[in-house]
């Protein structure tokens, strides 16, 4: 299926221009959505996911967060590319910049309806951090963010749900419990038999059932909060 | 009764239990560093993003550990003269640090050597199980066995 | 340069993986850890065996093939990278045809011999390779058919 959106250039708060995948909503606009990438960049899979949310009535912006360090960064799952992506995430790209760029995207969607955020893996962590640190979000839905447990004292400013795979080798259930214990108001969903990356149909861990359930829960959250 | 098993003793379906073998992260990384230095066998973070979803042993390492378990069980009791290869192998599930492996080696075929009357080929199917009784690896290996002196 | 996807695989494409010389020490070290049959670990016992001397475990030879295959991949910058996932579902038809003795130098290679579509996984395909080791005289010592996952071209 052909992608419906297009890459545009947006100026960020530090003056740099980055690429953003933008899709118009199908039918009546229910709200705006900032969709945050995995460490692999704005890949085909991320663009298709943006399209899926646009099909549900959201105007979606998917910022290419590593554009300053590696313009147009979008890589495969080969070991070499995974290493490249990890290097950028770990050593080159300041996490704060991702939060600032997220705020810029939120601001671009304001004034036309509620603004939401979702993200996967690296994007799941950004989603969590944005829920606590950004202004103007109506609700947040974060998937398997690896560093969320390390940001446990963050207080989300909007209704937030989190999704984790039961057998995610990078995020032990003890970490998930820590998050649950510290945030009784945050619904933390654990998907049985799922590993890391279960929402991505490009990965060996893809789980169709879990993907559908996560999507249903995310859309219900958005509908309940003005979307 | 001799405790050594000769070609004739390996009837179809006879199964030998081998193992256990405790898999450690150190050994996974050591083998991979030397023979299969790919990030998903060396580094937890990279492995998380890979098809394996987390640090796992090289498939070749799993074969090597299986051979060790098989050898420990069979060398003392089998009049063997080595193997000639390994037929199809399937790496079914990742083998992770902390896994404990065991092997069930079952005789699936035996063949008298045509050219050499003193030996035959015994084909074992080796099924490697982890501690959750899930199959990690299956392969077939023919072993040369001497016939008992009549 | 653009990467190569499963669709770009050329049957017959060949990689020369280079040479490797097996030493007595490492044959014994591998044998002791993973294949302790007498002719892989004990030069004296090996002399009295049908092999007439110490020989490398077939699994050691296979591991060396893998070692060289990864090294060749890491060193082929400048060539279009084939998007292998670095993960394999298995192999077929591995044969250890001739003994590998200490001091022997083997030449290793890999040639693409097939590709398999996966209905269960639309984003990956399988590449089949005929993988070999030959001795100094060019005689075939070891071979197997390898399988690897390769990423498929994304739909536009």
Interface residues from chain A to C (CB-CB < 8 Å): 1-3, 43-44, 76-81, 201-202, 204
By the CB < 8 Å criterion, does C19 face chain B? no
Average pLDDT over residues A158-185: 94
Of A2, A80, A201, the CB nearest to C156: A2
Average pLDDT over residues A173-180: 95
Residue-wise pLDDT tens digits, A159-170: 999 999 998 988
Whether B26 maps to a domain, the answer reads yes
**Residue C103 confidence (pLDDT):** 97
Q: Which residues of C touch B65 (CB under 8 A)?
A: 34
> What ipTM does this complex have?
0.95
Q: Kindly report the pTM of this predicted structure.
A: 0.88
| Total number of residues shown for chain A | 227
Q: Which residues pair with B142 in a beta bridge?
A: B123
Give partners of A (≥3 CB pairs < 8 A).
Answer: B, C
A175/A146 Cα distance (integer angstroms): 10
Under an 8 A CB cutoff, do C37 and B75 touch? yes
Q: What's the pLDDT band for B2 if we cut at 50, 70, 90?
A: low
**Residue A143 confidence (pLDDT):** 97
CA atoms in the 13 A half-sphere facing the CB of B90: 7
Q: Domain C6-151 classified CATH 3.10.129.10?
A: yes
Domain edges within chain A: 6-224
Task: Answer yes or no: are the C-beta atoms of A86 and A108 closer than 8 Å.
Answer: no
Q: Is the pLDDT of residue A200 over 60?
A: yes
Q: What's the pLDDT band for A103 if we cut at 50, 70, 90?
A: very high
Average pLDDT over residues A207-218: 94
SS (H, E, C) chain A: CCCCCEEEEEECCCCCEEEEEEECCCCCCCEEEEEECECCECCHHHHHHHHHHHHCCEEEEEECCCCCCCCCCECCCCHHHHHHHHHHHHHHCCHHHHHHHHHHHHHHHCCCCCEEEEEECHHHHHHHHHHHHCCCCCEEEEECCCCHHHHCCCCCCCCEEEEEECCCCCCCHHHHHHHHHHCCCCEEEEECCCCCCCCCCCCCCCCHHHHHHHHHHHHHHHHHCCC
Of C86, C123, C154, the CB nearest to A78: C86
**Residue C74 confidence (pLDDT):** 83
Which fold, A6-224? Rossmann fold (3.40.50)
Residue-wise pLDDT tens digits, A44-54: 899 999 999 99
**Residue C85 confidence (pLDDT):** 83
Residue-wise pLDDT tens digits, A4-44: 999 999 999 999 999 999 999 999 999 999 999 999 999 98
Residue of higher predicted confidence among B32 and B48: B32
**Shortest distance, CA A3 to any CA of chain C (angstroms):** 7
Give partners of B (≥3 CB pairs < 8 A).
Answer: A, C
Whole-angstrom Cα Rg for chain C: 18
Of B39, B48, B96, the CB nearest to A196: B48
List b or e across B94-103, with b for residues whose CB sees 16 or more CB atoms inside 10 angstroms.
bbbbebebbb
For B128, the domain range is 7-146
Q: What's the pLDDT band for B87 if we cut at 50, 70, 90?
A: confident
Under an 8 A CB cutoff, do C81 and A80 touch? yes
Smallest CA–CA distance from B52 into chain A, residue: A204
When the pLDDT of each residue in chain B is averaged and rounded to a whole number, the result is: 94
Of B40, B54, B96, the CB nearest to A79: B40
Q: Which residues of A touch C122 (CB under 8 A)?
A: 201
Whether B72 maps to a domain, the answer reads yes
By the CB < 8 Å criterion, does B125 face chain C? no
Under an 8 A CB cutoff, do B53 and A205 touch? yes
C68/C22 Cα distance (integer angstroms): 13
Of C86, C123, C154, the CB nearest to A79: C86
By the CB < 8 Å criterion, does B25 face chain A? no
When the pLDDT of each residue in chain A is averaged and rounded to a whole number, the result is: 94
**Residue A201 confidence (pLDDT):** 74
* Of A159, A46, A202, A51, residue with least CA distance to C124: A202
Average pLDDT over residues A77-101: 93
Under an 8 A CB cutoff, do B39 and A169 touch? no
Task: Answer yes or no: are the C-beta atoms of A158 and A140 closer than 8 Å.
Answer: yes
**Residue A77 confidence (pLDDT):** 81
Whether B111 maps to a domain, the answer reads yes
Average pLDDT over residues B32-38: 97
Of A2, A3, A78, the CB nearest to C85: A78
Smallest CA–CA distance from C74 into chain A, residue: A80
Q: Which of residues 69-98 of C touch B (CB under 8 A)?
A: 70, 85-96
Under an 8 A CB cutoff, do B88 and C90 touch? yes
By the CB < 8 Å criterion, does B22 face chain C? no
By the CB < 8 Å criterion, does A195 face chain B? yes
Q: Which of residues 103-132 of B touch A (CB under 8 A)?
A: none
Average pLDDT over residues A64-89: 91
**Residue B150 confidence (pLDDT):** 53
**Residue A127 confidence (pLDDT):** 98
CATH number, position B113? 3.10.129.10
**Residue C83 confidence (pLDDT):** 83
Give the number of B-C residue pairs with CB atoms closer than 8 Å.
93
By the CB < 8 Å criterion, does C108 face chain B? no
By the CB < 8 Å criterion, does A170 face chain B? yes
What are the structure tokens assigned to A80, written together?
């070499």
Low-confidence residues in chain C, pLDDT < 50: none
Under an 8 A CB cutoff, do A197 and B54 touch? no
Q: Which of residues 110-139 of C touch B (CB under 8 A)?
A: none
Number of domains in chain B: 1
Whether B1 maps to a domain, the answer reads no
By the CB < 8 Å criterion, does C63 face chain B? yes
Q: Which residues of A touch B54 (CB under 8 A)?
A: 168-170, 195-196
A59/A106 Cα distance (integer angstroms): 11
How many Cβ atoms are within 10 Å of A72's Cβ, its own excluded? Answer: 12
């Amino acid at each position: 299926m052909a992608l419906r959106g297009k890459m545009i250039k947006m100026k960020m708060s530090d003056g740099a221009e980055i690429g953003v995948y933008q899709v118009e909503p199908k039918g009546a606009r229910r709200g705006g959505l900032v969709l945050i990438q995995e460490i692999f960049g704005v890949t085909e899979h991320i663009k298709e996911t943006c399209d899926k949310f646009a099909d549900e009535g959201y105007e979606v912006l998917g910022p290419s967060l590593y554009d300053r360090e590696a313009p147009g960064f979008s890589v495969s799952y080969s070991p070499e590319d995974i290493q490249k992506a990890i290097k950028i995430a770990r050593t080159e790209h300041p996490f704060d910049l991702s939060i600032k760029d997220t705020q810029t995207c939120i601001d671009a969607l304001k004034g036309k309806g509620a603004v939401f955020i979702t993200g996967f893996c690296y994007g799941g962590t950004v989603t969590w951090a944005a829920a606590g640190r950004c202004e103007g979000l109506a609700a947040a839905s974060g998937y398997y963010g690896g560093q969320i447990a390390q940001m446990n004292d963050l207080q989300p400013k909007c209704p937030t749900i989190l999704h984790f795979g039961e057998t995610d080798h990078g995020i032990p259930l003890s970490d998930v419990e820590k998050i649950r214990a510290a945030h009784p108001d945050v619904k933390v969903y654990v998907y049985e038999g799922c590993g890391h990356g279960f929402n991505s149909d490009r990965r060996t861990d893809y789980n169709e059932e879990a993907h559908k359930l996560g999507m249903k829960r995310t859309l219900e959250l958005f509908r309940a909060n003005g979307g | 009764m001799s405790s050594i098993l000769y070609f004739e003793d390996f009837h179809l379906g006879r199964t030998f239990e081998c193992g256990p073998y405790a898999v450690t992260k150190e050994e996974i990384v050591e083998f991979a560093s030397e023979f299969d230095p790919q990030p998903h066998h060396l580094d937890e973070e990279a492995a998380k993003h890979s098809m394996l979803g987390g640090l796992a042993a090289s498939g070749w390492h799993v074969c090597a550990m299986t051979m060790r378990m098989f050898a420990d069980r069979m060398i003392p009791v089998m009049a063997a003269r080595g193997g000639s290869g390994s037929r199809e192998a399937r790496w079914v599930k990742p083998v992770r640090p902390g896994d404990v492996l065991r092997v069930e080696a079952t005789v699936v075929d035996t063949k008298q050597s045509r050219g050499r009357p003193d030996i035959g080929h015994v084909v074992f199917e080796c099924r490697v199980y982890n501690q959750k009784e899930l199959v990690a690896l299956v392969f077939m290996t023919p072993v040369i066995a001497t016939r008992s002196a009549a | 340069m653009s990467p190569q996807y499963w669709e770009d695989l050329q049957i017959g494409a060949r990689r020369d993986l280079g040479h490797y010389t097996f030493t007595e020490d490492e044959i014994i070290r591998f044998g002791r850890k993973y294949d302790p049959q007498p002719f892989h670990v004990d030069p004296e016992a090996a002399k009295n065996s049908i092999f007439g001397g110490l020989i490398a475990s077939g699994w050691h030879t296979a591991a060396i093939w893998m070692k060289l295959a990864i090294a060749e991949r890491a060193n082929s910058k400048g060539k279009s990278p084939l998007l292998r996932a670095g993960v394999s579902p298995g192999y077929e038809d591995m044969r250890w045809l001739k003994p590998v003795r200490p001091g022997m130098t083997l030449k290793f290679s890999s040639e693409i011999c097939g590709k398999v579509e996966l209905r269960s996984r639309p984003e990956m395909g399988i590449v089949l390779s005929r993988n070999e080791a030959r001795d100094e005289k060019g005689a075939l010592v070891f071979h197997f058919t390898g399988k690897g996952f390769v990423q498929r071209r994304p739909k536009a």
